[in-house]
């Protein structure tokens, strides 16, 4: 899988040429797409507690680093099992970094402008 972004990963696997090479079936594509979200949802409650105990900056940078490293590794994955594993880990990075960034933003925004600013952010 040469230079494949995690965003287009499922579409890449569905193509006729690459699906034969990667042994991708319809169910595998569903799992590859869904496992990212599942792992992001699993990690969020734990990240919420960790943000209060360990600090926001470290959690954010750790999650973002994990997210970037795993995304870069997709190019070297050759089996569906490895892709599933890396998508699961990738979801942890996304869950941690997105939760931390939202928390950091809500800490920085003045309380009187919180609603207005969240409308702009989201």
pLDDT tens for each residue of 68-91: 999 888 878 888 888 889 999 999
Name which of 91, 7, 89 is nearest 44 in CA terms: 91
Instruction: Output the CA torsion sign for 69, 51, 101, 41.
Output: positive
CA distances (Å), origin 101, targets 17, 19, 95, 122: 39, 36, 10, 12
Identify the pLDDT of residue 88.
Answer: 94
* pLDDT tens digits, 21-59: 555 566 777 788 889 999 999 999 999 999 999 999 999
| pTM score, whole prediction | 0.76
Residue 17 pLDDT > 60, yes or no?
Answer: no
């Amino acid at each position: 899988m040469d230079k494949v972004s995690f965003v287009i990963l499922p579409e890449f696997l569905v193509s006729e040429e690459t699906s034969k090479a990667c042994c991708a079936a319809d169910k595998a594509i569903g799992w590859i797409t869904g496992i990212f979200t599942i792992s992001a949802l699993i990690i969020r409650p734990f990240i919420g507690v960790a943000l209060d105990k360990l600090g926001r900056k470290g959690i954010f940078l750790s999650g973002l680093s994990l997210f970037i490293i795993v995304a870069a590794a997709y190019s070297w994955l050759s089996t569906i099992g490895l892709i599933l594993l890396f998508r699961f880990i990738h979801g942890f990075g996304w869950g941690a970094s997105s939760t931390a960034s939202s928390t950091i933003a809500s800490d920085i925004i003045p309380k009187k402008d919180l609603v207005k600013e969240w409308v702009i952010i989201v």
